Chains A and B, each alone.
Chain A
């Protein structure tokens, strides 16, 4: 008997960490310890979170499998389920299905330099890979992160941004669309900030996630800067329900973002019909 792919596993919220006025990190532990052991995921995958009586939504896993214990989800309150999630307290029960989707191409990365470009909450899926890489530091070359948000207070993972920047062989560049009286750093959109920094494409793979328009402009900029399209990697957001390629709504051409993605290279996206205007 195959298992029931629509039945979530119960999990308990063990910690809630506010990040911005509308974004929080939820640390979650599966109730069944055997299941928790077998919940093996890779950076770039996502899970379906349930609030029973409200519904379900796909959220990328922001933690790294190199750090056991809890699963982390960085969630912005935008829809019904995410708003309901924000109402919950530590100890509340939610449902989890997953892990789903492909993942970042881990095996092709060894020995490479890595460039991460994030916008807003788009840092969440990248954070999984960044921490994975930093936990296996010897296997990878230089790590750069270019990250921006609309305002300084909308930058997520602020504490980690500082820690990452302190690591040997890692550089963090921050920008905001609009500064405030305390912001001393650069001001400007992520794609133009990227062009200013102009990282070398030498032996480098670039990963980007953020608002759709940012992803588009970043990928175009990277290609112009000499990154081959198969070394420009993004992870896409699309309306999903089932998460397992059955419900029929998250396709771009014949590819389902939940099943064949959410991670795609720019090269792969160019082969698909222009549904996302890439």
Chain B
């Protein structure tokens, strides 16, 4: 284990920023992960970003290719990739964990090269979570450690005057090489410990017994269908493909979409297999706690709490989970 004094961290990041595009938490109205031109823009004392850093890998809108008619034919030009390798500073352990799940989804069978290229081209420097957590945080209930280096190349943990530095990959090691002299052997300091609860054992079977339960209808009566829970969810990745321009020229874009939106599954034939809020709300929770665990062996929720924090009608995922457990017959 190594340590770096707080004033030296910026020094190191400045050198990193000369070789990489540096992305990090910036206070721009709200805290958000953005590319910074100077480390002065970074904030170090923040609970988490409003929009999860998934948007750096799956942008809210992204041009996949441009097209234009030329003579009798059509020219297709795929969008260019990253100009420079990137370093993302300040990602929290829950969000890092979410990227590991998105990797599985986007790399399954046919690889999504747009996502994969951004992932491969980005080194992650994580920041362990401060204590106490935000009132909406519940990662520990899902067995996630808010001080874990899982999924990042380097994890920094705040020890008031210095950061404890945990390097887990060769890429992380290479990043340290920009200012090796600033990283000192740690004086045996240890990361603070957080208790994991893992209280959601068997949630897959529990929710499965509630397919016909009236709870989804009750919940959907409150839900406005705004979709903020999905846009701000670090594991939500549904998207739409849509053409912008005309048949003469334009681009095909990928844009975030949401299973909470009424027309998400509405077919041209007029059929909609999820015609009311009940089916749509149920789909969201079944995806997180039933389908993703079945397919990928992990829960589809990382406990970041953004959905609960920003829901305009105060639907709290922790309450939903408790209801699932309480109503379940299993």
Assess whether A40 is interfacial by the CB under 8 Å rule: no
Which residues of B are found within 8 Å of A250, using beta-carbon distances?
265
Assess whether A1 is interfacial by the CB under 8 Å rule: yes
Known: A53-B245, A247-B239. A8 touches B290 (CB 8 A): no
Nearest-Cβ distance from residue B11 to partner chain A, whole angstroms: 37
A38 to B267, CA, bound (A): 31
- CB closest chain-B residue, reference A273: B211
Q: Is the CB of B268 within 8 A of A91?
A: no
Nearest-Cβ distance from residue B287 to partner chain A, whole angstroms: 8
Q: Is the CB of A93 within 8 A of B243?
A: no
Interface centre among A78, A245, A252, A254 (most CB of B within 10 A): A254
Which residues of B are found within 8 Å of A52, using beta-carbon distances?
67, 69, 74, 76, 243, 247, 250, 252
Please tell me which stretch of A65-73, A169-177, A233-241 contacts chain B, meaning at least 4 of its Cβ atoms lie within 8 angstroms of it.
A233-241
Nearest-Cβ distance from residue A256 to partner chain B, whole angstroms: 10
Assess whether A244 is interfacial by the CB under 8 Å rule: yes
Q: Is the CB of A6 within 8 A of B211?
A: no
Please tell me which stretch of B109-117, B129-137, B153-161, B163-171 contacts chain A, meaning at least 4 of its Cβ atoms lie within 8 angstroms of it.
B109-117
Q: Is the CB of B241 within 8 A of A5?
A: no
- CB closest chain-B residue, reference A6: B64
Q: Is the CB of B73 within 8 A of A93?
A: yes
Which residues of B are found within 8 Å of A8, using beta-carbon distances?
76
Q: Is the CB of A1 within 8 A of B239?
A: no
Assess whether A249 is interfacial by the CB under 8 Å rule: yes
A48-89 vs B, CB cutoff 8 Å, 1 = contact: the mask equals 001111111100000000000000000000111010100000
A-B pairs with CB below 8 Å: how many? 131
Within 8 A of A (CB), among B219-270: 237-243, 245-250, 252, 254, 257, 259, 264-269
Assess whether B274 is interfacial by the CB under 8 Å rule: yes
Q: Is the CB of B243 within 8 A of A7?
A: no
A26-58 vs B, CB cutoff 8 Å, 1 = contact: the mask equals 000000000000000000000000111111110
Assess whether B310 is interfacial by the CB under 8 Å rule: no
Q: Is the CB of B112 within 8 A of A53?
A: no
Assess whether B85 is interfacial by the CB under 8 Å rule: no
Q: Is the CB of B268 within 8 A of A53?
A: no
Known: A10-B74, A238-B267, A249-B259. A5 touches B240 (CB 8 A): no
Q: Is the CB of A273 within 8 A of B65?
A: no
Q: Is the CB of B106 within 8 A of A254?
A: no
Which residues of B are found within 8 Å of A50, using beta-carbon distances?
252
Task: Among A57, A248, A275, point to the contact of B268 (Cβ < 8 A).
Answer: A57
- CB closest chain-B residue, reference A253: B291
A95 to B75, CA, bound (A): 11
A110 to B254, CA, bound (A): 43
13 cross-chain CB contacts under 8 A: A3-B113, A5-B111, A6-B64, A8-B76, A52-B69, A93-B74, A239-B265, A239-B273, A244-B110, A245-B109, A248-B238, A274-B211, A276-B273
Residues of A participating in the B interface, judged by any CB pair closer than 8 Å = 1-8, 10, 50-57, 78-80, 82, 84, 91, 93, 95, 212, 237-239, 241-242, 244-254, 259, 273-276
A2-B116, A239-B264 provided; 9 other pairs, C-beta below 8 A?
Answer: A6-B241, A52-B243, A241-B241, A244-B109, A249-B257, A249-B259, A249-B265, A251-B291, A275-B274
